[in-house]
Amino acid sequence: MNVFVLNCGSSSVKFQIINTDLELFEADGDKMIAKGLIEKVGTKEAIINLQAGGGEPFKAVEPVEDHRAAIMRIKAWMEEPTTKIEGVHGWDDLHAIGHRVVHGAERFTKAVRIDKEVLAKIEECCDLAPLHNPANLKGIYACYEIFGERIPQVAVFDTAFHSTMPEDVYLYAVPYDFYSKYQVRRYGFHGTSHRYVAYRYRKLTGKKREDVKIVTLHLGNGSSACAIQAGQSVNTTMGMTPLEGLIMGTRSGDIDAAVVEYLFAKGVGSVTDIFNILNKKSGVAGVSGIGNDMRDIEKGADEGNHRAQLALKMFANRVKKYIGAYMAEMNGCDAVVFTAGIGENGARIRSMICSGLEALGIELDEELNKQTVRGKTGRITKPGSRVEVWVIPTNEELLLARDSVRVIRNVERLW
């Protein structure tokens, strides 16, 4: 099957076309045959970047009115005779569309085929994720308009993997009514990424799902940690929204909620303004004053910038705290897995996070750690380390494609 995997942001459309099917999963026979990104959608200067297989990328800056126009632009590119996508000459060669949807609330605990009823339910989840779900929905509606029921469409939710968290973990200690009336609870995000690297870890080590306890660390612009036991998420750091937990590029992570009232009283702005600051101007960007890119912050730290040094330390310490918490919660673990931009490349930050965890059984091999960057997979602890540490590149698109196939072929779970 050729699966068109779509990840729509408020002003961007990111896609891959992945050739995959059930019988290809075990041997990793799936193949990414095209990918692309259209940014600044809704402007006269949208940035278009499209690539077939390993070919030369097509780049352009053109007006792209909305998400529908972006998808039509991809179609036009696909149908040009100069575009050579293996086995795909036009829309008719696509067999499924897999959409990334951020929030599925309690309504969606796994990927589902999209129909009118599902669409209505995703709409209902917008309340809980006003920054994300409406953008995802734009992509779904655009595809619905273009393809109708002709190509099956599947929604894969970031929250779904965490639906196995127990009640005592997902509830906040606030009046119970807030949960029963308003669905205030922890949902967790990055589920597709945590699930993917947990699966890869089991494949790499040959361990059985039932036997494994791991802590996965998705450290990118947005960051979260997850405790995974017997293949299921038992805890994660993000909460009702992606603001909770680890310190991120621009998000504060855990913070005393009283700060909001205090800043409001000080006239910093409305509650909305303050949450905007906590989401967009805080995190390592806020502390360092340099920006959200860890590479720039590391450079600043090397040049003696105190706030950059502080941002790195605070970032690493928060991750360390949750490794300890999750190991306590699971009564130990077999491995810690790093993934995403910082997790896959930030050797220095990985070293900061893992240093001083010898008492918990983590002994990093500094040389292996330094070498494991730029898409490399590997163990980075010393042979005798009681808890292993791995770096495993994430691939959310691949899991989106596989989940789409599973839904369409009515397979519950293959791994």
The residues annotated as belonging to the active site are 158
Residue nearest to ligand ADP (CB): 341
Stretch near ligand ADP under the rule CB under 6 A, chosen from 46-54, 151-159, 220-228, 265-273: 220-228
Residue 292 interacts with ligand ADP (CB under 6 A)? yes
Residue nearer to ligand ADP on the CB measure, 183 or 305: 305
Shortest Cβ 116–ligand ADP spacing (Å)? 31
Q: Out of 48, 97, 294, 362, point to the residue binding ligand ADP (CB under 6 A).
A: 294
Residue 220 interacts with ligand ADP (CB under 6 A)? yes
Residue 346 interacts with ligand ADP (CB under 6 A)? yes
Relative to beta strand 378-379, strand 223-229 is unpaired
Nearest to 238 by CA among 224, 222, 218: 224
Shortest Cβ 9–ligand ADP spacing (Å)? 10
Shortest Cβ 343–ligand ADP spacing (Å)? 8
Handedness of CA 268, 273, 275, 277 (dihedral sign): negative
Rounded to an integer, what distance in angstroms lies between the CA atom of residue 191 and that of residue 188? 7
**Tokens for 316?**
């690493």
Q: In Å, how far from its chain's centre is CA 15?
A: 15
* 40, burial (CB in 10 Å: exposed 0-12, middle 13-18, buried 19+): middle
Stretch near ligand ADP under the rule CB under 6 A, chosen from 54-62, 256-264, 336-344, 406-414: 336-344
Q: In Å, how far from its chain's centre is CA 292?
A: 17
Q: Out of 9, 98, 242, 249, point to the residue binding ligand ADP (CB under 6 A).
A: 249
Stretch near ligand ADP under the rule CB under 6 A, chosen from 35-43, 104-112, 236-244, 287-295: 287-295
Residue 295 interacts with ligand ADP (CB under 6 A)? yes
**Tokens for 171?**
């509830």
Q: Where are the alpha helices (DSSP H) in 331-413?
A: 340-345, 347-354, 366-371, 396-408
Q: Are 249 and 222 in contact (CB under 8 A)?
A: yes
Residue nearer to ligand ADP on the CB measure, 98 or 346: 346
Q: Which helix (H) or strand (E) holds 23?
A: helix 22-25
Q: List contacts with ligand ADP (CB under 6 A).
A: 220-222, 249, 292-295, 340-342, 345-346
